[in-house]
A and B are shown apart, each in its own frame.
Chain A
Amino acid sequence: MTGRTVTIAKSRAEVFAFIRDLSNASAWMGNVAPAGKADGATMHWTISAPAGVAIDVAARISSEHPDTRIAWTTTSDSQVEGQGEILLRDAPGDRGTEVSAVVAYMPPLGEIGRLMAKLLQVDPHIQGRHALKRLRMLMETGEIATSQNRKQESH
């Protein structure tokens, strides 16, 4: 399990609407592919590992409470089970909204599961923090910061 909070200088309603619109997801979550179903509530993403190994996650929105909470859970075609939620709270004063994301993955049993568990300890934690920062960047500036000098540069 891993969690993290950022403060975004926007109202809870604006943040909720932005997150709930899954067409925004690939911009801030990273590694998110368009979902197979056109129901506006399903998505796929990848947890990446060294040596090109990737774990595919398929999930759907399982519950939502407007302007306050969005929860998701993995579907049967997901490579790993997991669930998570995003919570929104008013920040003090005029600071905007506090956005917390909590995610927990349950790797399968056995050797593969052990390897996955190691990976899942580190990567979702970092990915989650990075995703929240990108969300803040998009909402506060309209852009994701890059220090590249040209398009299609590799790091």
Chain B
Amino acid sequence: MRALTWQGKHDVRVETMPDPEILNPRDAIIEVTSTAICGSDLHLFDGVIPGVLAGDILGHEFMGRVVETGPKSTLKKGQRVVVPFTISCGGCFHCRMQQFSACDNSNPVEKQDASELLYGHPMSGLFGYSHLTGGYPGGQAEYVRVPFSDVGPIVVPDGLDDDKVLFLSDILPTGWMAAENAQIQPGDTVAVWGCGPVGLFAIQSARIMGAARVIAIDHYPNRLKLAREMGADVIDYRQTHVLEALMEMSGGLGPDAVIDAVGMEAHGFAPDTILDNVKQIVGIGADSGHALREAIMAVRKGGRVSIPGVYGGFLDKFPLGAMMEKGLQIRTGQTHVQRYLKDLLRRIEEGEIDTTFMISHRLPLEEAAKGYENFKSNQNDWTKVVLKPGMAR
């Protein structure tokens, strides 16, 4: 089969790789019909995530048709499914508590040692996201082996196009959980850093959850435009002093909740970002935390900080004093996708949530490298790239 493989920093190539097989009883094999490039894939592309080897297949946002099932799978051949990026067994301590992205049993035992060393506890298995998370071949491919197929994949009706449901795999539940983690109350003002897909879905979710006002922060004109269409007021951080603007836009109190949908590769030329970026390049590996630091400064006292943005290592100069003295609540984590799928699919079916608005480009799988390059360096025009295996060039 054809699949998108990581070959080095800024080097991804579609290669011919062996087809997957059923290995465990609860496996299913999915023939991929649509798969997207994620903002967090760019961290892999930029080489800032450890444990990626040449030849690894990337991709964790995918859907398609079931073509083969193991004897204990509950799926049937021919069913159309969206697959969560989280691989979850359903039976461990964490899965039983609905903490699906913390599953204890999905990361192969020998692979657990690395993340256990790094974080104190081993990470769960994810598709296509380095050997820290198991080294599972990902979904930017023609076929994927899906473990625990009785827990993860959700069956979607044929009447809904791929574009309408693909983002159930990751970014829609991620935006939703980000808003949920902000514990929004009626009357709240919520500020969101980053108008990429997760930020946009967080804005949409915050509105549904009853935020009175949502303020979105970015600098790309097209992304700010999309945020405005979602019902947010916008701040271009290159034109406006963010902290002052947020104070004025929240009656002098400060936003009640803040959402960092930027993560470890924050942009910009603030002194702290430059220092973080130098450290990343040199390999000391400090995550870049400008958006997070700003969010913690901006949020009102006693407010809530929600962090869907992906971080991997250590952050220098974390404003711990601000956090403590202001009495903040911090909620973060990889999305517990399976927790949200049924409810979000229903909202899509009922027309309450639309996901197609943010797809800017559809490319054949064979042109995936072009998709990565533009998604990274042309972020104004390339808001979300969906790859289609089998689409003609």
Residues of A near any B CB (own CB < 8 A): 7, 9, 95, 126, 130, 133-134, 136-137, 140-151, 155
Contacts and interface: CB of A to CB of B under 8 A. Distances in A.
A155 B90 CA distance: 27
B144 to A, nearest CB: 9
Interface string B109-131: 11111000000000001000000
A150 B20 contact: yes
B80 interface: no
A134 B19 CA distance: 27
Contact of B92 (A126, A134, A140, A155): A140
B319 interface: no
Interface in B123-168: 125, 134-137, 145, 147-148
A7 B93 contact: yes
Nearest to B151: A141
Given A137-B105, A141-B148, A147 B111 contact: yes
A26 to B, nearest CB: 15
Main secondary structure of the interface of A (DSSP, over half): loop
Given A133-B112, A137-B105, A142-B25, A147 B89 contact: no
Contact of A137 (B19, B109, B135): B109
B21 A145 contact: no
Q: Which of B21, B91, B147 has the most C-beta atoms of chain A within 10 angstroms of its own C-beta?
A: B91
Interface of B: 17-21, 23-26, 72, 89-93, 96, 104-113, 125, 134-137, 145, 147-148
A150 B111 CA distance: 17
B110 A150 contact: no
Contacts of A146: 23-24, 108
The 9 A-B residue pairs with the shortest CB-CB distance in the complex, in nearest-first order: A140-B91, A143-B24, A141-B89, A147-B136, A149-B20, A147-B134, A137-B105, A130-B109, A147-B135
15 contacts: A9-B92, A136-B105, A137-B109, A140-B105, A142-B25, A144-B24, A144-B108, A144-B109, A145-B89, A145-B109, A145-B134, A147-B134, A149-B145, A150-B21, A155-B110
Contacts of B21: 149-151
B91 A141 contact: yes
A151 B26 CA distance: 15
Q: Could you say which of A136, A137, A147, A150 has the most chain B C-beta atoms within 10 Å of its C-beta?
A: A147
A151 B23 contact: yes
Contact of A136 (B18, B26, B90, B104): B104
B146 to A, nearest CB: 11
Given A9-B91, A133-B109, A145 B25 contact: no
Contacts of A148: 23
A137 B147 CA distance: 13
A143 to B, nearest CB: 4
A142 B89 CA distance: 10
A150 B91 contact: no
Given A150-B18, A150-B20, A145 B92 contact: no
B15 to A, nearest CB: 13
